[in-house]
Amino acid sequence: MRLVILDDYDLASEWAAKYIRNRIVEFKPSADRYFTLGLPTGSTPYGCYQKLIEFHRSGDLSFKYVKTFNMDEYVGLPRAHPESYHSYMWNNFFKHIDIDPANAHILDGNAEDLEAECSAYEQKIAAAGGIELFVGGIGPDGHIAFNEPGSSLVSRTRVKTLAKDTIVANARFFGNDLSKVPTMALTVGVGTVMDSKEVMILITGAHKAFALYKAIEEGVNHMWTVSAFQQHPHTIFVCDEDATLELRVKTVKYFKGLMHVHNKLVDPVLSIKDQ
Amino acid sequence: MSFFYYWDFMSRGPGSSCIVSLFLGRFWFWEDLWVRDGKILDPEKLFFDEQGFADRRVDCGGSIVAPGFIDVQINGGYGVDFSQPTEDVAAGVSLVAKKVLEHGVTSFCPTLVTSPPAVYHQVLPQVQVHDGGPDGAGVLGFHLEGPFISPEKKGAHPERYLRTFRSGGMEDLTEVYGGLDGVAMVTLAPELPHSQSVVRMLCQKGIAVSLGHSVANLSQAEDAVQHGASFITHLFNAMLPFHHRDPGIVGLLTSDRIPAGRTVFYGMIADGIHTNPAALRIAHRAHPAGLVLVTDAIAAMGLHPGRHPLGQQVIEIQGLHAYVSGTKTLSGSIATMDMCVRHLKQASGCSVEEALEAASLHPAQLLGISQKKGNLDYGADADLVLVDDALRVRTTYISGEEVWRRDA
């Protein structure tokens, strides 16, 4: 695991965005060989998306040959609803970049047959050659995507009922009215994300600190599903100071001591202009 | 959604980009405006449903994008007087329609002042309601200002052609106007006997009824509104002045007898001349949601300063004033719609959105066409005006096509 610790949210967002940029540019994606990217939603990755848009606007990064697969989507929420993950991705990312709409995949929470939708999604990922880099976040209960506590660590894309914690956490997006929050979602499984070549988890804020502790300093445990990535060969956790508040001082010092190594991954930052 | 500056404005084919939109929720934001087939497009649907993206991007250069202006009271311009019966009325309307694009007007109601029946019979059939385009702004229908108005408040209307309602039935109207096809609005004085049934009849036909050139008291005005009247023609002008014990028609702005769910709109000639800015502010503060900017422009609008023979008179233009030559009698308004928008903003201190809404959203709401015009909602016609920060018109679009651009 790489644990990359930046001072604050903005710096963490920037580091993550630069990493994604470098990975895409280095990959030299083309019509024959797309870069497949797994994507999250929520407040944590927002800053990262803003930075990626900046890189695109400055001409340094293109998404023309990038295929994206989002992690999850609510069930039964109209796609045009402002809180749907389709709306989130459109407003905060897709409309600002040059991705081909056919390559932007998000689970359809209004599909007739939800299970079929989930299997089809797994097939699309396989058809795209698997995910090169899966970017994710972490819930306060340690979940990755909507793989709530108790989810199988080898699970695949499926329908999940949301935990009370998650519904409460999301209520703020639905006018604090619990009855309006969707209770089910389609989500990639822990196993689905584990299949990707590389995983990058963004964790910022003190409210995520305990989850980060459970994810990296305790054992692999299906009650804290992000802990599964301890068994992935290439995982990066990008966090800010506040997210490290529950970690042992020793852990934090160790990884901060490695920042000069980590920073080589984002410095120099690459650009398509140089290709 | 709200609008402010915008990046790009794409038009034609799937997608256009700019920052836009004022009216979807009345905030400002940087956004892109997408247009397809002349209508404003929901780009999110385009992206996910059709997997489409923009064909073309137009850089709006930081302009503010607003819905095209709608002028519901304009008597002519550039030497053309709509009330003059000529062989080719349509040509005159077309000329004005083309010129007003420069003022950001994308739709208008050619207005006829009180005239003899022969004039209505000749003029009305010659012009149909039609959409605008590169040749000029769209015609929403005629505004018939008179002849059923009060002799005491005729203003510049010729007294001999004023009429009253004989029975309040359709015959009263068809006898004078001929047919009512292509009529969007009628101004009348509600104190005239039998006016109530006329108001109801016109409203049922989808024609807006406006109160004006009248000595009605508040109660008579309120009755007319109960029967369906929804507009006041050039507030303050040609009506009884506000009196604290009988506010007259002006009192409609704050009347508590307006039926629920309905708004009374009022036209203001915001040229700084026909209404004292203080009066404009009183009206705006009392009822901002109802303010509709109108030019009430006469044939002299758009002509150069100096003397011009118009009809039977000679008009002298000095700055924004048009006098009967040799006198100080105002002969009408020659302000353009964009001037009125700027004047409203400056005189009332209202926000940019409010000033722009008074020229677009409110007239569209008044005419009941706000699903298609006067706003930038998905599905609305892409009639747009791009203005700079000082609210000067830079470019005008109709159905997503550029129809006028200011030379740099």
Would you say residue B88 has pLDDT above 70? yes
Q: Do A94 and B45 touch (CB under 8 A)?
A: no
Tell me the pairing of strands A104-105 and A66-70: parallel
Topology of domain B68-367 in CATH is TIM Barrel (3.20.20)
Secondary structure class of B347 (helix, strand, coil): helix
Find chain B residues with C-beta within 8 A of A90's C-beta: 43-44, 47-48
Residue A148 a catalytic site member:
yes
Mean pLDDT of B319-346: 88
Residue-wise pLDDT tens digits, A123-156:
999 999 999 999 999 988 899 999 999 999 999 9
Are the C-beta atoms of residues B182 and B142 closer than 8 Å to each other?
yes
Give the separation between CA B408 and CA A199, rounded to whole angstroms: 52
**More confident site: B266 or A173:** B266
B321 carries a ligand binding annotation:
no
Q: Give the length of chain A.
A: 275
What pLDDT, on the 0 to 100 scale, is given for residue B14? Answer: 37
How much helix, strand and coil, in percent to the nearest 5, is found in chain B? 25, 25, 50
- Looking at chain A, the whole-number percentage of residues with pLDDT higher than 70 is 100
Instruction: Please give the residue that has the higher pLDDT: either A15 or B58.
Output: A15
Burial annotation B147-181 (CB, 10 A radius, 16+ → b, else e): bbbbeebbeebeeebbbebeebeeebbeebbbebe
Cβ-nearest to B32 among A87, A95, A100: A95
pLDDT single digits (tens) B2-56 = 232 233 343 333 344 444 433 333 445 567 788 888 998 888 888 898 888 777 7
- Tokens read off for B30: 């940087």
Percent of chain A with pLDDT over 90: 89
User: What does the angle CA A57 – CA A63 – CA A66 come to, to the nearest 5 degrees?
Assistant: 165
Element (H, E) at B48: helix B43-49
Angle at which helix B352-359 crosses helix B337-348, to 10 degrees, equals 140
Give the torsion sign (CA, A63, A69, A72, A73). Answer: positive
Q: What is the mean pLDDT of chain B?
A: 88
Nearest to A101 among B32, B42, B53 (CB): B53
**Contact criterion met (CB below 8 Å) for B51 and B15:** no
| Contact in structure between B269 and B237 (CB atoms under 8 Å) | yes
Determine the pLDDT at residue B22.
37
Contacts of A248-255 with C-beta under 8 Å, sequence gap 24+, read: A248/A217, A251/A3, A251/A216, A251/A217, A252/A5, A255/A2, A255/A3, A255/A4, A255/A5
Q: Kindly determine whether residue A101 and residue B32, on different chains, have CB atoms separated by under 8 Å.
A: no
For residue A160, give both structure tokens: 């999940």
For chain B, the domains span: 4-66+375-405, 68-367
Instruction: Report yes or no: A214 and A174 within 8 Å, Cβ to Cβ.
Output: no
Burial classification of residue A252, based on how many CB atoms lie within 10 Å of its CB (0-12 exposed, 13-18 middle, 19 or more buried): middle
Task: Find the helix or strand (DSSP H, E) in which A51 lies.
Answer: helix A46-57
Instruction: Pick the closest to residue B2 from B276, B316, B361, B304 (CA basis).
Output: B361
Phi, psi of A164 (to 5 degrees): -55, -45
Q: Kindly state the average pLDDT of the residues B247-269.
A: 97
Fold assignment, B4-66+375-405: Urease, subunit C; domain 1 (2.30.40)
Q: For the segment A218-232, what is each residue's pLDDT rounded down to a tens digit?
A: 999 999 999 999 999
Measured CA to CA, the distance from residue B385 to residue B392 in angstroms comes to 10
Which residue of chain A comes nearest to B45, CA vs CA?
A80
Strand order in the sheet with A184-187: A72-74, A184-187, A158-161
For B15, nearest residue in chain A (alpha carbons): A95
Best B53, B55, B377, B378 member to test A by mutation, with max A CBs in 10 Å, is B53
Residue B331 annotated in ligand binding: yes
Question: Do the Cβ atoms of B73 and B79 come closer than 8 Å?
Answer: no
* Alpha carbons B39 and B291: distance in angstroms, whole number: 26
Cβ partners under 8 Å of residue A20, min gap 6: A37, A48, A52, A133, A135, A200
Collect all residues of chain B within an 8 Å Cβ-Cβ radius of residue A100. 51, 53
| Nearest chain A residue (CA) to B52 | A101
Residue A101 is nearest to which of B32, B42, B51, comparing CB atoms?
Answer: B51
Is A242 a known active-site residue?
A: no
Q: Is B234 annotated as a binding residue?
A: yes
Q: Which residues of A touch B51 (CB under 8 A)?
A: 100-102
Q: What is the pLDDT, as a whole number, of residue B154? A: 87
CB contact under 8 A, A90 and B47: yes
Q: What DSSP string describes B78-143?
A: TTEETTS--TTHHHHHHHHHHHGGGGTEEEEEEEE-S--HHHHHHHGGG---B--BTTBPEE--EE
Q: Which residues of A, range 90-129, sit inside 8 Å of B by Cβ?
A: 90-91, 94-95, 100-102, 104, 106
Tokens of B50: 């059709």
> What is the DSSP secondary-structure string of A30-50?
BTTBPEEEEE--SSTTHHHHH
| Nearest CB to B51 within list A79, A90, A102 | A102
pLDDT at B9: 40
How far is the CA of A35 from the CAs of A190, B40, B321, in angstroms? 21, 33, 67
Lowest mean pLDDT of A237-246, B25-34, B138-147, B374-383, name the range: B25-34
Is the CB of residue A118 less than 8 Å from the CB of residue A186? yes
What value does the mean pLDDT take over residues A253-268? 97
What is the reported pLDDT for B76? 94
- State whether B47 and A104 contact (CB < 8 Å): yes
Q: Is B45 in contact with A80 (Cβ distance < 8 A)?
A: yes
Task: Answer for the pair B16, B40: CB distance below 8 angstroms, yes or no.
Answer: no
Q: Per-residue pLDDT for B182 more than 80? A: yes
Which residues of chain B are at the A interface, by a Cβ-Cβ cutoff of 8 Å?
32, 42-48, 50-53
Of A201, A207, A142, the C-alpha closest to A15 is: A201
pLDDT at B3: 30
pLDDT category at A9 given cuts 50, 70, 90 is very high
pLDDT at B63: 82
CB contact under 8 A, A87 and B53: no
**Chain mean position to CA B262:** 19
pLDDT average, residue stretch B138-144? 97
Q: Is B145 labelled as part of a ligand binding site?
A: yes
Phi, psi (rounded to 5 degrees) for B381: -65, 140
Q: Among A87, A90, A96, A110, which would you mutate to test the B interface (most chain B Cβ atoms within 10 Å of its Cβ)?
A: A90
| Active centre residues of B (catalytic) | 296
Q: Which residues of A touch B42 (CB under 8 A)?
A: 80
In chain A, helix, strand, coil percent, each to 5?
A: 45, 20, 40
- B160 Cβ partners below 8 Å, 6+ apart? none
What tens digit of pLDDT does each residue of A10-27 get? 999 999 999 999 999 999
Note the residue count of chain B: 408
Measured between CA atoms, the residue of chain A closest to residue B7 is A96
**β-strand pairing of B39-40 with B105-112:** unpaired
Tokens 């109709």 sit on residue: B398
Q: Among A95-99, A253-257, B61-65, B287-291, which is the least confidently predicted range?
A: B61-65
Identify the pLDDT of residue A201: 98
Contacts of A236 (CB under 8 A, 6+ apart): A1, A2, A4, A19, A198, A199, A200, A201
State pLDDT tens for residues B156-175.
888 899 999 999 889 999 99
The active-site residue out of A14, A117, A132, A141 is A141
What is the model's pLDDT at position B408? 65
A219 touches chain B (CB under 8 A): no
Give the mean pLDDT of A251-262.
Answer: 97
Q: Which CATH class is domain A2-265?
A: alpha beta
DSSP codes joined into one string, A230-268: GGSSSEEEEEEGGGGTTS-HHHHHHHHTTHHHHGGGTSS
Burial class of residue B137, CB neighbours in 10 A (0-12, 13-18, 19+): buried
